[in-house]
Amino acid sequence: MSNHRKTHSKCNGDVNGAPSVIGATYSAMAPDQIAFSPQYEINNYGQPWFDGPSNLTAKKLILKVANKNDDGSGLINKLKVKVEVNRDWSDWQVAYDGRLVLATNVDLLAPNWSELVAGSSESLRYQVYLPNEVGNQTALMGKTVSWDFVIEGRTN
């Protein structure tokens, strides 16, 4: 059964300065087809508006899903997301792998690091898909969903 959906997301990186807004839009997809996001940089730069390095070290980078909207279709509850982070262009580390709606308070440093020092950055990418679960998913065909990823840098 072909269930199509369009997704849109944006990622706000707010470490020690103003948020940076980035986004992705995906075309219609079928169950088990994976959509890949662009690669994003989370920068630990300070005010004024990312002009220069911060003097604060981020001890946590908390990712949350916000502004969820699927117009009541229930699609947001079915989607899965795999969020990965990287710093040294070697191995990507999985920070979260599960239901999109449950991606709250995900620490993007936890897989491999304890901090993001001032003036440095971390790469982020994600995959989103609708699992091909048993049952009739016809009601989800043609539905759309949107959400924001909000990233908050914390110093403690």
pLDDT of residue 94: 94
CATH number at residue 115: 2.60.40
Task: Tell me the C-alpha distance between 58 and 100, whole Å.
Answer: 24
pLDDT of residue 47: 54
Select the more confidently predicted residue: 93 or 22: 93
Share of the chain above pLDDT 90, in %: 15
pLDDT of residue 134: 62
Closest by alpha carbon to 151, among 89, 111, 104? Answer: 104
Q: What is the DSSP string of 17-35?
A: S--EEEEEEE----TTPPE
Is 156's pLDDT higher than 70? Answer: yes
pLDDT of residue 62: 86
In this prediction, residue 75 has a pLDDT band, given cuts at 50, 70 and 90, of: confident
Is 42's pLDDT higher than 70? Answer: yes
ω into 48 cis (within 30 of 0): yes
Number of structural domains (the chain) is: 1
Task: Tell me the C-alpha distance between 103 and 107, whole Å.
Answer: 10
Q: Which amino acid is at 73?
A: S
Q: Which amino acid is at 19?
A: P
pLDDT of residue 110: 83
- Residue 108: give the domain boundaries: 5-154
Share of the chain above pLDDT 70, in %: 75
